[in-house]
Amino acid sequence: MKIALKVMEKINIKIQLLHCDTTNFSVYGDYEDSSNGSTIEITYGHAKDKRDDLKRFGLGMITNQCGIPLFAKAYSGNTSDKESIIKAMKRLTENITFPDDVYYIADNALYSEDNVKSMGKGMKWITRVSSTLNLSTELLSSNLKFITGEDSRYSFHETFANYANIKQKWVVVHSIEMQKRKDVTFEKKIEKHMHKAQKELKHLKSIDFACEDAARSFVERWKQENTYCSLEKVQISAVSKKQNVKRGRPRKDEKNHHLLCN
The C-alpha atoms of residue 11 and residue 67 are separated, in whole angstroms, by 14
Query: What CATH topology corresponds to 2-128?
Result: Nucleotidyltransferase; domain 5 (3.30.420)
User: CA dist 94 to 9, 86, 100, 116, 183, Å?
Assistant: 18, 12, 14, 18, 47
Strand order in the sheet with 55-64: 69-76, 55-64, 17-27, 103-105, 124-126
User: pLDDT tier at 257 (50, 70, 90 boundaries)?
Assistant: very low
pLDDT at residue 20 is higher than 90: yes
User: pLDDT tier at 154 (50, 70, 90 boundaries)?
Assistant: very high
DSSP assignment of 230-256 equals --S----EEEEEESS--SSSPPTTPPE
pLDDT at residue 225 is higher than 90: no
What does the chain come to in residues?
A: 262
User: CA dist 16 to 25, 162, 180, 246, 259, Å?
Assistant: 29, 25, 34, 89, 77
33 near 21, Cβ under 8 Å?
A: no
pLDDT at 140: 87
In this prediction the pTM is 0.67
The mean pLDDT of 159-182, rounded to a whole number, is: 92
| Percent of the chain predicted with pLDDT > 70 | 89
Residue 119 main-chain phi, psi, to 5 deg: -70, -30
pLDDT at 158: 94
State pLDDT tens for residues 40-75. Answer: 889 888 888 889 899 999 999 999 888 888 899 999
Domain with CATH 3.30.420 in the chain: 2-128
- Residue 80, C-beta contacts closer than 8 angstroms, at least 6 positions apart: none
User: CA dist 230 to 158, 180, 220, 237, Å?
Assistant: 37, 26, 11, 20
| Sequence letter at residue 6 | K
For 39-144, where are the E strands, in sequence order? Answer: 55-64, 69-76, 103-105, 124-126
The C-alpha atoms of residue 196 and residue 201 are separated, in whole angstroms, by 9
